[in-house]
Amino acid sequence: MKNRIIYTLFILISIAVLCNSFVIENPYFKITKKDVKLKIPKGFPKPIYNFKKNKLKPDIFILGRKLFYDNILSKDNTISCSSCHQRIAAFAHIDHKLSHGIYAKIGTRNVPALQNLIWKDAYMWDGGINSLELQPINPITSPIEMDENLVNVILKLKANKEYVRLFKKAYKDTLINSERLLKALAQFTGLMITSNSKYDKYMRKQDTFSLAEKNGLKLFRAKCEHCHKEPLFTDNSYRNNGLKMDTALKDFGRGRLTEINKDYQIFKVPGLRNIEMTYPYMHDGRFRKLKDVINHYSNSINYDEKADSSLFRIGNLNEQEKKDIHSFLLTLTDKEFLYDRRFADPNMLQ
């Protein structure tokens, strides 16, 4: 009898110990080789960013994830990449028209979603940066975003035991430098690939569309596809989609960079995947709802000399057509991507 009690106690304690180790090594945050294997979705073109020069490894991805969610990249340790790029919004910022940065400063543009970045030839609304690896230098050093500099970031990382451990695990030696920091971030953001929306499943014949969704797709192909080219829903070009310039912001788009006349008031065509989740819309976040966007294209295009000629083919949409296009846009939501555990905040308690 006594033996039996001791035996039962032993089993109970063992289970408790096992459960405890389970909590410490939470499988939710575990990254395996399989998790960082680059899979090009069927029908997608060849990526522009080349991971051969930044070989994907679980421990480098884990480092990138930690950095993405860490306030340490900002001057006063209050802002992380994820402050502006929220996972549930496909890494855009829900409900803020313009980005909110350090010292409560308001930026000049709407935070774009981060997705399918390795297919982009240039980043930002005006295409001002053409390297995924160099892109983070912009927010880190921007006085209204993170107001930090790379030398200081590296000093902070070197003084941080956890980062010393993570860099060593990732790169197998003790060197901590900005190249490694930027490459790790690019592994994390570069793998943010969305390709499992209802639209994708319909295209792969794994799902069906309602009549409204089918009509929406037809209308989309006739009126929007010219710029929002499938399967990425952008042709990577710069266009004016008939928005009147906000006279307070005076954002000249690509012209601000190039100072070439034809580039004034044109912006990079955004991909529309997960559009349901990335509101508000446009470079200045002027539209809160998808309905407002569709009404813009139907009723309030500003046909000045800047407006792209392909806008003429849209014409006035009737109420049914607007509803159908709306239904189609909702098929671009990819819950598998939005809830992909690989991109979750590792500091989050599960």
With binding defined as CB under 6 A, does residue 191 bind ligand HEC?
no
C-beta neighbour count of 348 within 10 angstroms = 11
Instruction: Please tell me the count of residues contacting ligand HEC according to CB under 6 A.
Output: 52
Amino acid at residue number 120: K
With binding defined as CB under 6 A, does residue 345 bind ligand HEC?
no
Contact 141, 149 (CB under 8 A): yes
Pick between residue 8 and residue 347 the one whose CB is nearest to ligand HEC: 347
With binding defined as CB under 6 A, does residue 275 bind ligand HEC?
yes
With binding defined as CB under 6 A, does residue 296 bind ligand HEC?
no
Residues 121-160 binding ligand HEC (CB under 6 A) are 123-125, 135-136, 139-140, 145-146
Contact 239, 266 (CB under 8 A): yes
In the complex, the smallest distance separating the C-beta of residue 108 from ligand HEC, rounded to whole angstroms, is 7
**Comparing C-alpha atoms, which of 194, 229, 206, 217 is closest to residue 330?**
217
In the complex, the smallest distance separating the C-beta of residue 308 from ligand HEC, rounded to whole angstroms, is 3
Q: Could you identify the residue written with the tokens 């069906």?
A: 208
Residues 230-259 binding ligand HEC (CB under 6 A) are 239, 241, 243
With binding defined as CB under 6 A, does residue 293 bind ligand HEC?
yes
- The correct pick among 57, 70, 87, 101 for binding ligand HEC (CB under 6 A) is 101
- The correct pick among 224, 232, 301, 338 for binding ligand HEC (CB under 6 A) is 224
Residues 6+ apart with CB under 8 A from 6: none
C-beta neighbour count of 333 within 10 angstroms = 19
Dig out the tokens for 117 from the structure. Answer: 């970045």
Residues 6+ apart with CB under 8 A from 75: 102, 146, 147, 148, 152
Please give the Cα distance from 24 to 4 (Å, whole number).
31
Binding site for ligand HEC (CB under 6 A): 68, 73, 79, 81, 83-85, 99, 101, 107, 109, 111-112, 114, 117, 120, 123-125, 135-136, 139-140, 145-146, 185, 189, 223-224, 226-228, 239, 241, 243, 267, 269-270, 272, 275, 278, 281-283, 293-294, 297, 308, 310-311, 314, 325
